[in-house]
Structure 1
Amino acid sequence: MSDDGRIATDGIAERECGEPQREPPCEFCHIAAGDEPAARLYADEQTVAFLDRQPAVTGHTLIVPRAHEGELFHLDAAATAAVFETVQTMTDALEAALEPDGFSVFYTSGPLVGTVEHAHVHLVPRFEDDSVSLALSRRRLGESDASELVSAIREYC
């Protein structure tokens, strides 16, 4: 039993209401449930959008599924679609409110890039004078490398 009276099994504690909660607690699950303060912009049955607490620029928004999942594409298709519908809703709202020059939308996956183990999409309004850089080092993809890669990937499509 945890310190707050919940029964814990395999890293998940049951609340009195029967909802499973992660141990240690997931910050984004608590925000989605309304248990933790956040600058919430939008919510529906499957998603929540709120301002990033450490924004790259004004209006930097996070869109999260209500269901706890570390990987966005491990959600069912409807939940994944709902996340991207909320991205569109928030893009429209941020465009009207802030008049940015454009947007960067990104999702990162895996332990090398994430700080919160709850899938989320970053929606970053872009302004001509912002200092945001999403530069990737790039190299030209040769024809034979492309052919090998296409064959390897298509095998799983």
Structure 2
Amino acid sequence: MDCLFCAIVAGDVPSTRVYEDERTYAFMDISPATEGHLIVVPKRHSRDILEIAEEDLAAVAATGKRMAQRVTDVLGADGVNLLNNRGEHAWQTVFHFHLHVIPRYADTSRDTMQLPWIPAPGDGDAIRATGARLAV
């Protein structure tokens, strides 16, 4: 298997490790959106959110929460985005499930990241119709 994040977890590719436990590994993103941007991965490979085992997903979520608290406490983040991208069209570039932990700051000198869309009210009928199609 030729997976960058598997190689990072194995220690074959260098990373700036922030946290590690039995199931997860957290390290600094080398192309950060903001100061303190890091990535949490499961140690066991899974391609994306649709393939990850439930127990690995729970472990990544718990580590993501721990790292969100850490960037808030240590870096003084005013907020935190937890972001997962699934598939090329959703901007996934490394095909090993991962969660971005992106600290957000009121100080724009530390944070120039902007929303990728401008939220605006949608068509209520269309929203209800899509919701009905998705309902389980």
Residues 39 and 51 of structure 1 are in contact (CA less than 8 Å); yes or no, is this contact kept in structure 2?
Answer: yes
Question: Contact 2:16–2:27 at 8 Å: present in 1 too?
Answer: yes
Say whether 1:131 aligns with 2:112. Answer: yes
Q: 2:55 aligns with which of 73, 78, 88?
A: 78
Deviations 1:26-58 (A, max 9, x none): 110011122221000001111110000111111
Q: Which residue identity lines up with residue 143 of structure 1 in the other structure?
A: G
2:127 is the alignment partner of 1:146: yes
Number of equivalences: 132
CA distance in 2 between partners of 1:56 and 1:144 (Å)? 36
Tell me the CA shift for residue 147 of structure 1.
2.1
Matches of 1:140 and 1:97, distance apart in 2: 36
SS of match in other structure, 1:68: coil
Could you list the structure 1 runs, at least 4 aligned residues long, displaced by more than 3 angstroms after superposition: none
Q: Aligned partners of 2:121 and 2:79: how far apart in 1?
A: 27
The answer to whether 1:109 aligns with 2:90 is no
Match of 1:104, SS?
strand
Distance, in Å, in 1 between the alignment partners of 2:134 and 2:121 is 19
One-letter amino acid of the structure 1 residue matched with residue 6 of structure 2 = C
What percentage of residue pairs aligned between the two structures are identical? 31
Q: Deviation per CA, 1:106-126, whole angstroms, max 9, x where unpaired?
A: 111102212111111111111
| 5+ residue gaps, structure 2 | none
Measured on the aligned residues, the alpha-carbon RMSD in Å equals 1.4
Match of 2:39 among 34, 37, 62: 62
Q: How does 1:31-42 map to 2 (within 5 A)?
A: 31-42=8-19
- SS of the residue 2:47 aligns to: coil
The structure that has the greater radius of gyration is: 1
Q: Is the 8 A contact 1:73 1:80 kept in 2?
A: no
Higher RCO by CA contacts (8 Å cutoff, separation 6 or greater): 2
Quick check: 1:107–1:122 contact (8 Å CA) kept in 2? yes
Normalising by structure 2, report the TM-score: 0.89
Which secondary structure does the structure 2 equivalent of 1:74 belong to?
coil
